[in-house]
Amino acid sequence: MEINETALLLGVFTLYFFLAFVLPTVRVWYQTGKNPYVLPISDDAYGFVSRCMKLLIGGLFVYFTAKLFWTGMGKFIGALPGSGFRSVQSIGWSLLVVAILLTLTAQYQMGKSWRIGIDTHEKTDLVTNGLFAWSRNPIFLAMRVCLLALLLIQPNAVTLTFFCGGELVMQFQVRLEEAFLYDQHGERYTNYCATVGRWL
Which CATH number belongs to the domain containing residue 157 in this structure? 1.20.120.1630
Chain segment 29-40, per-residue pLDDT in tens = 999 999 999 888
Total domains in the chain come to 1
16 inside domain: yes
Question: Does any domain span residue 32?
Answer: yes
**20, 100 Cβ separation under 8 angstroms:** yes
pLDDT in tens, 30-75: 999 999 998 888 888 899 999 999 999 999 999 999 998 887 887 8
HSE, side-chain direction, 13 A CA sphere, residue 5: 16
List, as one string, the DSSP characters of 102-143. Answer: HHHHHHHHHGGG--BS--TT-------SGGGGT-S-HHHHHH
Q: What is the DSSP string of 60-90?
A: HHHHHHHHHH-GGGGGGS-BPTTTT-HHHHH
Domain that holds residue 79: 2-195
For range 152-178, the mean pLDDT: 96
Tens of pLDDT, residue by residue over 111-149, are 999 999 998 888 889 999 999 999 999 999 999 999 999
200 occurs within a structural domain: no
Is residue 91 one of the residues assigned to a domain? Answer: yes
Could you tell me the pTM of the whole model? 0.91
